[in-house]
Structure 1
Amino acid sequence: MKKIIFLMLASFLVLSCGTSKVVKESRKTLKGNWTLDNINYGDANGVYEVELFDDASSECFVGSTWRFIPNNNFGNYEINGANCSSGKRYFVWTIPDVKNASSYDILLKPTDEKMNSTRNNKGYRLSLDYLSDDSLRFTQTLQVDGKPFTIYMNFTKISD
């Protein structure tokens, strides 16, 4: 009898602590291949030299292809621009589940192709601003000269 009660209690805790429906649906929708169509900078006008993910300039990221695999939280992006360090980069990703949140973040951590941490063991938090079956927008707000500077990354889905 004690074992049955313990198993029921354990099952209840596991089920009640699971990922929210919104996060599950977001992971499912994010699955697939995406193209980074453009990057803009909020209300700021002009040309800015911005390096994303301590990797390459924002110009190099425009046109890059991204892949998100939700069953193992692995992904990659590939840069192919002229005057850019072309090639495939790998990352692990997750959408932290925050109860009663109206918006969500996505965490990206660069890895090698075997999911081992690379470079400086640093990760990046982006706001998951918009996500539909065919478009996606991440934003990242940085501090530049003590003021917020927002980067908008706009994607289009290529395939599931």
Structure 2
Amino acid sequence: MRKILILSLLFSVVLSSCSATKAVREKRNLISGTWELTNVSFEGQPGSFKSVIFNDAQDICFEGSNWFFRDNNSTGRYTIAQSTLCNGGDRYIRWSVIENDYGTSQLQFKPIDEKNKDISGGYGYRLDIASLTASNMTLKSNVMANGAPVAVVYEFTKQ
């Protein structure tokens, strides 16, 4: 009887871990493809903000940027248009979807070079997946501004 109880418990653990993996795979499949970052906004404090996003460019430079996520090898890129305010071009990334300790999903990525080598020293970014459908994605990251929390909201449309 004790063996059956232990085997049942072990089987339950295996099943629950598979379901989390399945949820992550489903999100990865939805994210895979080409997206346009249509809007970057801020929530949590009144007023207007300017910020440098991903230690790369001003928030205005990211509006209209194209993002490509390749599911089969977890690489991708985002492309910023060249302008007087923005240093345009491709930025390469390695990405994944994780379930954090709070039970919510996050998109994480880090910069890589054209040969898929890490150029960030192991550092990267995690964005909460606020919503995700086959055609729209909203990501959020929490930052501090003037000593108070602000959420940076990224709204994407699938191409």
What is the TM-score normalised by the length of structure 1? 0.82
CA deviation after TM superposition for structure 1 residue 44, in Å: 3.5
Tell me the distance in 1 between the aligned counterparts of 2:49 and 2:99: 33
Deviations 1:33-86 (A, max 9, x none): 000000110144443211111000000000000001111110100000422100
The alpha-carbon distance between structure 1 residues 116 and 148, as it changes in their structure 2 partners (threshold 3 A), is same
* Distance of 2:50 and 2:100 partners within structure 1: 33
Range with greater deviation from structure 2 (118-127 or 108-117)? 118-127
Question: What residue number does 1:22 align with?
Answer: 23
Aligned to 1:7: none
Question: Take 1:98 and 1:47, find their aligned partners in 2: how far apart are those partners?
Answer: 30
Q: Supply the distance in 2 between the matched residues of 1:157 and 1:70 (Cα, whole angstroms).
A: 15
Query: In the TM superposition, what is the alpha-carbon distance from 1:17 to its structure 2 partner?
Result: 6.0
Distance 2:47 2:102 in 1: 37
Q: Distance in 1 between matches of 2:118 and 2:27?
A: 25
Q: Which moved more, 1:39-48 or 1:16-25?
A: 16-25
Q: Secondary structure at the match of 2:118?
A: coil
Structure 2 counterparts to residues 82-121 of structure 1, below 5 A: 82-83=83-84, 84-98=86-100, 101=103, 103-119=104-120, 121=122
Q: Structure 1 residue 98: deviation in Å?
A: 4.6
CA distance, structure 2, for counterparts of residue 125 and residue 76 of structure 1: 16
Task: Note the C-alpha offset of 1:106.
Answer: 1.2
What is aligned with 1:128? 129
What count of residue pairs does the alignment treat as equivalent? 147
How do 1:1-160 residues align onto structure 2 when only pairs under 5 Å count? 20-83=21-84, 84-98=86-100, 101=103, 103-119=104-120, 121-158=122-159
State the SS of the aligned residue for 2:39: strand
Q: Give me the identity figure in percent.
A: 31
Give the structure 2 partner of residue 10 of structure 1: none
Q: Which moved more, 1:19-28 or 1:58-67?
A: 19-28
- Measured on the aligned residues, the alpha-carbon RMSD in Å equals 2.5
Structure 2, unmatched stretches of 5+, are 1-13
1:119 is displaced (CA, Å) by 4.5
Residue 121 (structure 1) shift? 4.1
* CA gap 1:71/1:99 in 2 versus in 1, 3 angstroms: farther
Which residue pairs with 1:5 in the alignment? Answer: none
Stretches of structure 1 lacking an aligned partner (at least 5 in a row)? 1-12
Residue of structure 2 equivalent to 1:6: none
